Structure 1
């Protein structure tokens, strides 16, 4: 058992499984103690006589906790990309990883196949989606062969490039508290993105109350908390510059109003006054 370790990948690439639910681990440990390991783990040869786990890390961890000396295993010699893909597929089939872990693993898989850093993969995917939304070509971002490979890999996991960029990548930019909740399976990806848009001081209570809620229920919860917070807070008087800025933002939203000749004349006068004010501060 001492010569077995989790899957090791180059650089900052991440293996699929990062979070292990304590309750599920306890149940698995009890099952192994009673019935033994019923399915061998899958490993590949590692460095200095070690073996790296491709599939079955939960079983291995449980056996370690039970201080078992042996565990049944199948050894397969796999390169990094193949090992990561096999690990990811195994976890998906068993529904053992969160959407965050899946997204990070798919990025790592793309990084290995394209031979570029994960951050460059993310940036490239955003640029491809933006180019397509404008009807532009993306040949300067990825080659046709690279783009075909990306589409094929995403397709293996039932995803399309546009939805992966729109729905999955934003999850990696969640606030730490929300990101941890998704990793632990407490929040769905959709609810996490919605929650992340709220004020940071509401994140803690929302994470605590959002478990199991639908998107609609969560939106209602957000509204209730905002009303409660507004009722308990003292009104804040805006400075004259803040008032002007707030009014300007309101006017900008009324596009039909901005098309009026009279409105444009008045805005021109405002601009002239602002220029005079700028000169006063010189």
Structure 2
């Protein structure tokens, strides 16, 4: 949390700096330009114009609404990239869907990376240096790889040479960006590991990814258990099944009741019990609203 606040504060500070006419940054040789390269800045949406040469002109309305809903709930995980045209005037380089979705929900500012004149070499150095840091989470690393490929025009092979990583390693990080934003946020917050994410990315449908993600967090599943769960999913098994040994070795009295509990509560229920009748029941929920619904069912209040 402290890291996120620090980044946000930095973005606001740079935003104020960019609005000072006496310190207008136009080139990497200008004063304070070194603070800009590689950092995230909060920009007013009204100061950004769409690139008229953007090859993509059709945007799926339903997909945009889904993205807008995600941004409203979780914030923007991946900043847009713009290039500086003039004082407090910018043009989109990448991220038009994120830009449109942010405007759709009425946001006034958006986190952005700013490209300035002759900053290519400086940007590459800043990004490569950033990747070498030890405190980055897997999503931050994946986003840095993506920026290098998109903005410096590097292939995965060339990128592996620049950062000293195997091409397969880079591929594994980039694949994490195919996960639902909720799961990406969970990984950044430490709820799941990269190993969990690598297993989940093999599930194509985002809603099924979320179902399995909630099971991982709710049942504290290991990476190995997650891989088994994804395998069961691909084999056509029900998502209610769990690979845990405890669930498979339940005594008859408990095994017969698990389905009844799941149907009554309309959520995943895990039971651990011995033949003597001692054990515990774990009830999963995926949101505050679902928790309140379960509380009412169980307490009648």
TM-score (norm 2): 0.36
**Higher relative contact order, chain-length normalized (CA < 8 Å, sep 6+):** 1
Q: Please tell me whether Structure 1 or Structure 2 has the larger radius of gyration of its CA atoms.
A: 1
Quick check: which one's helix share is greater? 1
TM-score (norm 1): 0.38
Quick check: which one's strand share is greater? 2
